[in-house]
A and B are shown apart, each in its own frame.
Chain A
Amino acid sequence: MTTTAEAFTDAQAETLGILVNMIIPASEDLGLPGAGDERIMTDILATAARQREAVAAALAALDEISLAIGNLDFAKLGAPARDDAVAAFRRKHADGAGILATITTQCYYRDDRVMRSLNMAARPPFPLGFEVDQGDWSLLEPVRGSGPIYRETP
């Protein structure tokens, strides 16, 4: 059986969901969801589907390492063994780990709740744009008085 956009099996989606929560966990102090939150996970799966082959290969590598460590798929490992598997995965498959971390980050930091927690408006830049202070242009006075620093040419 497959899930999002027919891209991943339920087992792959479960593995990915556990992993992304280990990359960016929830924070009770900040009132933030983890990256495995249902809404964020929907975005992650849709985004990952555009790199399906690379993501599937990374998840397979993670399962392979998990089997070697605990004789179980990653999703079925206990917490300590999962930490060991993730550490080995990042060490042995840095490219795959990088792809998964990138997708996770891209989706997490555009979630409304996360953006608001950063005092950011939960919207794209356009059409409203942003205010930026002009700044103190008097800072330029010492430079104005420095005289030419370019070379004359023959």
Chain B
Amino acid sequence: MTVTVAGRGMTEQAIDVLIIGAGASGAAVAWSLAETKMKIVCLEQGGFMNPGEYPATGRDWEARASSDFSISPNTRQLAADYPIAEDGSAIKVANFNAVGGGTVLYAGHFPRFHPSDFRVKSLDGVADDWPLDYNDLAPHYAENDRMMGVAGLAGDPAYPSDNAERMPPLPLGKSGEVLARGFNKLGWHWWPSDTAIATQPHDGRDKCINLGACITGCAQGAKASTDITYWPHAQRAGVELRTHCRVREITVDESGLAAGAIYYDGDGVEREVEAHVVIMACNGVGTPRILLNSKSAAHPDGLANSSGLVGRNLMFHPYASIQGIFEEELDGHRGPHKIFRSQQFYETDPADKTRDFVRGYTFEIQRGQGPVSTALTGLARGKIPWGAGHHAAFRKLHNRIAGMVAICEDLPEEHNRVTLDPDLKDSDGIPAPRISYTLSENSRRMMDHAVAKASEALRTAGAINIMTQAPIPYGGWHLMGTARMGTDPARSVVNKWGRSHDVKNLFVVDGSIFVTSAGVNPTRTIQALALYIADQMKQRLANLFD
């Protein structure tokens, strides 16, 4: 049964803009469009988080990272979560379903793309170029930086000058010092990471106090999750945010244009909302899921899918973990996870004969772990025994682990894709997404290279033992490419300003529209793109659907 919005027995007047998803991109586009004074409604399947209940407030803070604050929706199984069929994927999806989306659990590592990342085909002969470039996004990167608040240091030789407003960088700490000395001995690039973490009071948020629990939500409010950055501003500007509303499908009118959405409210009641413009902001899995589930006579293969590319070209970023064990005591879990980055092996370098792959990767240098994680790591790697010897072995690891992850560029391949599972459904009966994903040979070679180089850096820094894992199987934090942008409607889903080629009042603003993945965390670019698209929409309001 479909009932009208709010169950008031009358049809709600059609809204101007319907945004689906209140995460990184949905929040940014909502805030930006609010100045138009259009009636904007955002539907979000989760609710607002209460930072007072984040794990860091309790003694069980480490344990909760593997239960209700797990990065895997299949582990969490909270009411806001939908299941994901991912047996056929070498990398499992990580996400979070709430106002703020994945930014609630991300580490806040916040690099920009390089200019070369938008010209992959031209420079390296692989994948495709983007239909826009770094300079198109530069002002929106800056705008997003102001809204999110970025800590870091200007002058990184791996990037063009950007004049971004930055708070002071996160502390190097003992871990950072030790590892930086290793990079210096090798003459390798490193630079304090740009992070979306306030190191001084910023826009009503307090500064970081080194809880060391960024990835289970920041109880201090120093980390920039969009529930505490964009959303308060967007709501004050008039955007309506409806929580616990899970969208089943986008509806279309007789001409095939988007007409609104059918969704389930928190009580499981089916409702329909009409809208003149629909914006998808549900990430690289959630967006193709809804589009593929929005079949109609005009769009028999799903909405915006005349190219057949909705759901295809899924990119994750294969991650490798390389951790060193040191004799001296380091920071342990104290402090934000990320310290600095190295892009020594980021840009393609034909002169470097050690590389048997195209494109490159970033090292994200990390502090250590809490005692529970340390013990579990030691047990899993055979470095801590059961029984006699447990305590002595534990003490050789406690506060003595530091290292890095390598985030490897994932190139688009059409066979890596999101489809609808024929059997698995969420609690509202909506088909679950199915992930089919294999690691490419290029990714494997890149990870091998990263593991070897990171091990070299750690040994040079003084590590006495190295622990590696490649790929990190539950490391699918970045969901990209499944509704790619481009100029050719046969080879892309949306145009260069995020509008569907097929449905002229349907936009996509999340990581789905990425043409390539770069070798850095995508959130800053996702948000810059969302602001860019919002800007393009505002400039074209008079002829938005032409």
Q: Are B57 and A109 touching (Cβ within 8 A)? A: no
Q: Which of B433-462 contact A (CB under 8 A)?
A: none
Q: Are B62 and A110 touching (Cβ within 8 A)? A: yes
Residues of A near B61 (CB, < 8 A) are: 124-125
Q: Are A118 and B371 touching (Cβ within 8 A)? A: yes
> Is B37 in contact with chain A by the CB < 8 A criterion?
no
Q: Are A106 and B372 touching (Cβ within 8 A)? A: yes
Which of B26-34, B172-180, B238-246, B312-320 sits within the interface? Answer: B172-180
Cross-chain contact of B60 among A25, A106, A151 (Cβ < 8 A)? A106
Q: Which of B34-88 contact A (CB under 8 A)?
A: 54, 56-63, 66-67
Q: In the complex where A106-B63, A118-B398 touch, is A154 in contact with B122 (Cβ < 8 A)?
A: yes
CB-CB nearest in chain B for A108: B375
Q: In the complex where A142-B184, A150-B115, A151-B123 touch, is A105 in contact with B379 (Cβ < 8 A)?
A: yes
For the A-B complex, the count of residue pairs with Cβ-Cβ distances under 8 Å equals 168
CB-CB nearest in chain A for B160: A150
> Is B212 in contact with chain A by the CB < 8 A criterion?
yes
Q: Are B171 and A22 touching (Cβ within 8 A)? A: no
Q: Are A25 and B62 touching (Cβ within 8 A)? A: no
Q: Which of A32, A125, A148 has the most CB of B within 10 A?
A: A125
Q: In the complex where A124-B56, A124-B61, A153-B115 touch, is A132 in contact with B335 (Cβ < 8 A)?
A: yes
Q: In the complex where A125-B213, A126-B54, A134-B172 touch, is A150 in contact with B114 (Cβ < 8 A)?
A: yes
Q: Which of A103-154 contact B (CB under 8 A)?
A: 105-106, 108-110, 114-115, 118, 120, 123-137, 139-140, 142-144, 146-154
Q: How far is the CA of A120 from the CA of B158 in the complex (A)?
A: 38
CB-CB nearest in chain B for A137: B172
Least CB distance, B90 to chain A, in whole angstroms: 20
Cross-chain contact of A129 among B54, B155, B209, B344 (Cβ < 8 A)? B209
Q: Which of B357-397 contact A (CB under 8 A)?
A: 370-372, 375-376, 379, 386-388, 390-391, 395
| Interface size class, chain A | 35 or more
Q: Are A127 and B347 touching (Cβ within 8 A)? A: no
Q: Are B386 and A86 touching (Cβ within 8 A)? A: yes
Q: Are B386 and A149 touching (Cβ within 8 A)? A: no
Q: Which of A13-62 contact B (CB under 8 A)?
A: 22-25, 27, 30, 32, 47, 50
> Is A101 in contact with chain B by the CB < 8 A criterion?
yes
> Is B133 in contact with chain A by the CB < 8 A criterion?
yes
Residues of A near B264 (CB, < 8 A) are: none
Q: How far is the CA of A127 from the CA of B57 in the complex (A)?
A: 7
CB-CB nearest in chain A for B133: A153
Residues of A near B370 (CB, < 8 A) are: 109
> Is A71 in contact with chain B by the CB < 8 A criterion?
no
Least CB distance, A106 to chain B, in whole angstroms: 4
Q: Which of B172-214 contact A (CB under 8 A)?
A: 172-174, 176-177, 180-181, 184, 187, 189-192, 208-213
Q: Are A135 and B172 touching (Cβ within 8 A)? A: yes
- 20 interchain pairs, CB-CB under 8 A: A24-B386, A101-B376, A105-B379, A114-B371, A118-B371, A118-B395, A120-B371, A126-B54, A126-B213, A126-B220, A127-B57, A130-B211, A132-B335, A133-B177, A135-B172, A135-B180, A143-B191, A146-B189, A149-B344, A150-B160
Q: Besides A139-B177, A149-B343, A151-B347, 13 other CB < 8 A contacts?
A: A30-B391, A102-B66, A109-B62, A118-B398, A125-B219, A130-B212, A132-B334, A139-B172, A148-B157, A148-B160, A150-B157, A150-B159, A153-B118
Q: Contact residues of A with B, CB < 8 Å?
A: 22-25, 27, 30, 32, 47, 50, 86, 90, 101-102, 105-106, 108-110, 114-115, 118, 120, 123-137, 139-140, 142-144, 146-154
